[in-house]
Each structure stands twice: as C-alpha cells, then as structure tokens.
Amino acid sequence: MQGPQVLIQYTIAEPALVSVRIFNLLGQQMAVLEQGVRAAGAHKLNWSKPGAMANGIYFVQAKLGKACFTGRLVLVQ
C-alpha cells in the first residue's frame, strides 16, 4: 500500500523562477517541493513524502515569478 500523497498544480504564462514550500503553523519550513526556473505552461507536483510529518495544518507557499500564493493543507494520515 502506498502512503499519502499531495498533488499541487500551477500554471505560469511565461518562464519564471518558481518556489513551492511547506510551512507549519509556527512558520517553520518543513519541505521544499520545487525550486528553480520552470517553463511556461501547466505543472504538477506529486509530493509523496508527507508521511514523515505529523497530522495537522500546514501552509503551502508558491512563489511563481512575481506572484506569491499561500494555501492551507490539512494532513490526516
């Protein structure tokens, strides 16, 4: 049986520096899922290692070029 997985999708209109990170409620960085320049278009991140993290609420921060987005992730295993 395979462990829990998290799918994160994003689209960028032009090549850009991308950073996708996971933070806990204290603001501590828990994981870096993506870092570097990515081509224009749709992208998918399939994070298959959240099993090392405790159940709880986390934040996903995506910096896509000049734009920055934050979303909430509830991890229940």
Q: What is the pLDDT of residues 20-58, one digit of tens each?
A: 999 999 999 999 999 999 999 999 998 876 667 788 899
Rounded to a whole number, what is the largest CA-CA distance in the chain?
40
The dotted CATH code for 6-75 is: 2.60.40.3080
pLDDT at 15: 97
Q: Which residues pair with 73 in a beta bridge?
A: 58
* Token code pair at residue 39: 């081509």
pLDDT at 1: 43
* Token code pair at residue 21: 């990170």
**Unique residue bearing structure tokens 């990515």:** 38
* Range 9-27 average pLDDT: 95
**Unique residue bearing structure tokens 């979303």:** 71
For residue 65, is it left (φ>0), alpha (ψ between -120 and 50) or beta? left
